[in-house]
Structure 1
Amino acid sequence: AVRPPCGPGTRPAADARTDAEFRQRIVRAWSMQDFPAGQSGHDHFFDTFGKFGEATRDRGKMLANVANTVVEQNQFYLETLVTPASDAAKKLADSVGYDADLAAFHRKLVAGGKLDGAVEEAVREADAADAQFRETARCDTARPDPGCRLSVRWISQVSRGSSNERVFTQMALGMRLAERDPRFVAVNLVQPEDGESALRNYRLQMRMLQYLRTQYPDARLTLHAGELTPGLVKPEDLTFHIREAVQVAGAERIGHGVDLVHEDDWQQLARTMARRGVAVEVPFSSNKQILGVAGDDHPFNAYRRYGVPVVLATDDPGVSRIDISHEYQYARATYGLSYTELKDLARASLEHAFLDGDSLWASGSARTGYRPVRACAGSQPGVAPPAPACARHLADNAKAATEWRQEAAFAGFERRQGGAR
């Protein structure tokens, strides 16, 4: 996709509305649909983003579509990735230049309100996207779309394959933004972890995050780490990525974590993640498409054996051509999970979300079970209104209130199905 006018050898994207064959060519190029065996799913997946980037400028319209799908999938909360103030961050990084002294580098970014200028640009972008979303989803009309009732938060993504100055600037922008605007909650790293620059600078990037967390202690951190397999990178690159993300950068969630058993002393790493409550986000379809890892080769059961919190994710549902229900179905069919185990995966997804406030659960994990806080111990979601003390707890804590809604939905589903199975 490129901006108009269409040049020689190109045609309007609108032709896809009437030309089914043309539409299928686009979908195959922009996603994993019908991707042929024997070719690199890794390369095709990551190449799609450069192809459809021009079509993603209307963030609010895209969010309206995604939000409706999320609600239809019985989800109550969404965190999704965005690159805030991309142009402003690039200009700022280029103007300041890299400084290996990270504290000095940060001071240069902040000096004269330069970083705050980028934050303000990101806020304006978010305001425009919110307005476009509400208009597209008809949120202020008598018949709003289902997505209007969804709580949505943004995670600022950092292009890990970029120059050191741009990576650090994007990190600082995302963390400063998370402390200034409640719509933004965290920072993550994107792009191939096995890229030349990403591999070369991986330890440096973890130290960057470690330093910035001292400056922005309220910003949250979830990191794509360990999206690697033998043969994709040198053996030594499989031994430390998850560990550095957890122990150096201080990640609260790990995305993918596929190379767990190749990490040095991986059992101790898993115990550390379990003790700290560091969750791993598992996108089965993505791991199979990109890395060719599935079934018993996937560390899903290894994480669970060691008590690491596990949540299911879609990675990029548009590119993978799946939804979250597909991932739950895969978990059931592949690993023989019971209804209760699937239910706990869904609970963990909210328990480890970056929602404001305290949890509904005094003890919440698949290993220990989910036991409500004292204020809500006698209340039954979906059966009766919460007791006064519980109602106050829900009113004061968005996380607990969202988890209550999920429990009420479970109760309704179980009544309709005649009990859990």
Structure 2
Amino acid sequence: MIGVKRLAGAALAALLLTGAAHAQPSLSPEARTAARFDAVVKDRAQLRLFLRTMPKGGDLHNHLAGTAYAEDFLAWAGEGGLCVTTDPLPAIVAGPCDAPGKAPAQGLGKTNPPLYSRAINSLSMRSYNPGADGALPSGHDQFFSTFARFGPAGDGKLSAMLAVARDYAAGDAVGYVETSVNPSAMSDLVNLARDTPWDGDMAKALAALEPAIPAMTAKARQEFDAAEAEADRRQGCHAQKPRTGPCAVVLGYQAFAVRVLPPSVVFAQLTAAFALAQADPRFVGVNIVAPEDDPTALADYALHMRMLRFLKTRYPDVKLSLHAGELTLGLVTPRELRFHIREAVEVAGAGRIGHGVDIAYETDASSLLARMARDKIAVEINLTSNDVILGVKGADHPLHLYRQAGVPFVLSTDDEGVSRIDLTHEYLRAVTEQGLTYADLKAAARASLEYAFLPGPSLWVSPRAPVAACAKAGAACDRFLAGSRKATAQWRLEREFEAFEAAPH
């Protein structure tokens, strides 16, 4: 490990561990930090303090619209002159706000604190209690329904959402966020396909869309250039050299299709997403989103996987991280649990799997796990999301099944604003509910960058050995890092672990 090697020659004083009566033999910074972790592992408050500052690398399963908290959306609604309904489940809507059943969002926390508080509950999972105060009868329905209720406040707020994502990541010791977001320019292709009946001819559908792709990608690039520049202005990044805090957080984008829409629209969205990932290096991959158990999503699942395979043959360098297996027994029929992850891997060619909760129900799960382990297809573990949406947690969660099979995994947030969590919270759950050690968490943080879709070769040739050019710091390593965004992020993480493990805990 780079950080440990660099510090190995330094003289380390003998440590007094908590409760020890005499000095222990000299420990490496990593061992000392692991000992501190072990000392606080059963004290949740102390454990959170420890984990809060622990470097976490990347958050690879993140939805930009779900990252902002309800309070952010209410503030943006106020700025935009929007209203909050007084329904049992308050929603953000357009004005005028003096109509019955509406109140101005501007200053709502002061003018009507009870409504403001109910709005936060309605726009998130805060204080969720099935059926209480109008809440929907399941965590699944409450979670997914929030997006429509806060959605209007996010219109035109791309730069603000990017700034929020960077701010929350920086405060949580996260250096890279791979977030799902679509440029508004994608609608240009969608509008071409919206009224086109789907006849299953993907080559014909692609040919109809291709003339509009260059203009769409150019417009999307302009949109994100402007949004990133405005986010930099908001956070004072232009004056920072080098960048620090939120300004140092790197964002990678995944464009996506919404799996509950008609096939012609889904295909157009996927085509736009692949084209963006090919044309703009900021768009690092493609995904498909929306409730996997939706009747349309279930009926069209195999079709969607074939669409992805078709487009991947046209855009072979584009990487896929696919929501698959976000299902459990009882939510859908047993037959729907048998093939979703396998088709995402074997048909669509996914490089990562999002959620993967129903793996134990897949037909011949052992061979599928073996393939994921062999091909290094990482699974994105979202513990809180799986709990609130599916009711799967603790010993029922398949994290250990993946680990036993040797499948790489990363810890991620999914929709931290809706769930009202952060990545530290997911690390804490991984410790307290899944029994992960400091070494496990450190490996997960490294994996989050190893399996990120950042371009360029990895810093590592094995978990403990860097590439030859970076066996030590110097000009050769500088040249290698200059050619790889992935390796640059990994190098930064190692420096952060050096500082974290050298600091007193």
TM-score by length of 1: 0.92
Output aligned runs, 1:371-386, within 5 Å: 371-377=465-471, 379=472, 386=473
- Equivalent residue number for residue 121 of structure 1: 219
Output aligned runs, 1:118-197, within 5 Å: 118-141=216-239, 146-197=245-296
Aligned pair in 2 of structure 1 residues 142, 150: CA closer, same or farther (>3 Å)?
closer
Unpaired runs of 5+ residues, structure 2, are: 1-91, 132-136
Output aligned runs, 1:253-332, within 5 Å: 253-332=352-431
Quote how far apart the aligned CAs of 1:37 are.
Answer: 4.8
Give the stretch that moved more between structures: 78-87 or 227-236: 78-87
1:36 maps onto 2:129 in alignment: yes
* 1:55-114 CA-partner distances (Å, limit 9, x unpaired): 11201111111201101211111111112235323312125442311111111111xx22
Report if the CA contact (8 A) 1:281-1:312 is conserved: yes
Unpaired runs of 5+ residues, structure 1, are: 364-368, 380-385
Distance 1:157 1:406 in 2: 28
Partner AA of 1:5 in structure 2: P
* SS, match of residue 31 in structure 1: coil
- Equivalent residue number for residue 315 of structure 2: 216
Quote how far apart the aligned CAs of 1:9 are.
Answer: 1.2
- Equivalent residue number for residue 206 of structure 1: 305
Query: 175, 188, 192: which is aligned to 1:88?
Result: 188
Give the stretch that moved more between structures: 9-18 or 255-264: 9-18
- Equivalent residue number for residue 150 of structure 2: 52
Partner AA of 2:478 in structure 1: A
Report if the CA contact (8 A) 2:186-2:272 is conserved: no
- Equivalent residue number for residue 30 of structure 2: none
Report if the CA contact (8 A) 1:15-1:22 is conserved: no
1:400 maps onto 2:499 in alignment: no
1:2 maps onto 2:93 in alignment: yes
* SS, match of residue 253 in structure 2: strand
Partner AA of 1:314 in structure 2: T
RMSD after superposition: 1.7
Quote how far apart the aligned CAs of 1:128 are.
Answer: 2.9
Report if the CA contact (8 A) 1:138-1:145 is conserved: no
Give the stretch that moved more between structures: 72-81 or 133-142: 133-142
State which structure, 1 or 2, has the greater radius of gyration over its C-alpha atoms: 2
Identity of aligned residues (%): 45
- Equivalent residue number for residue 116 of structure 2: 23
Partner AA of 1:107 in structure 2: A
Give the stretch that moved more between structures: 63-72 or 79-88: 79-88
Aligned pair in 2 of structure 1 residues 169, 320: CA closer, same or farther (>3 Å)?
same
- Equivalent residue number for residue 383 of structure 1: none
Distance 1:256 1:90 in 2: 27
Give the stretch that moved more between structures: 171-180 or 124-133: 124-133
Aligned pair in 2 of structure 1 residues 171, 138: CA closer, same or farther (>3 Å)?
same
TM-score by length of 2: 0.77
Distance 1:173 1:212 in 2: 10
Partner AA of 2:177 in structure 1: L
Output aligned runs, 1:99-118, within 5 Å: 99-110=199-210, 113-118=211-216
Give the stretch that moved more between structures: 316-325 or 210-219: 210-219
- Equivalent residue number for residue 63 of structure 1: 162
Report if the CA contact (8 A) 1:137-1:145 is conserved: no
Report if the CA contact (8 A) 2:189-2:209 is conserved: no
- Equivalent residue number for residue 382 of structure 1: none
Aligned pair in 2 of structure 1 residues 137, 68: CA closer, same or farther (>3 Å)?
same
Report if the CA contact (8 A) 1:242-1:260 is conserved: yes
Partner AA of 1:130 in structure 2: E
Report if the CA contact (8 A) 2:189-2:212 is conserved: no
- Equivalent residue number for residue 46 of structure 2: none
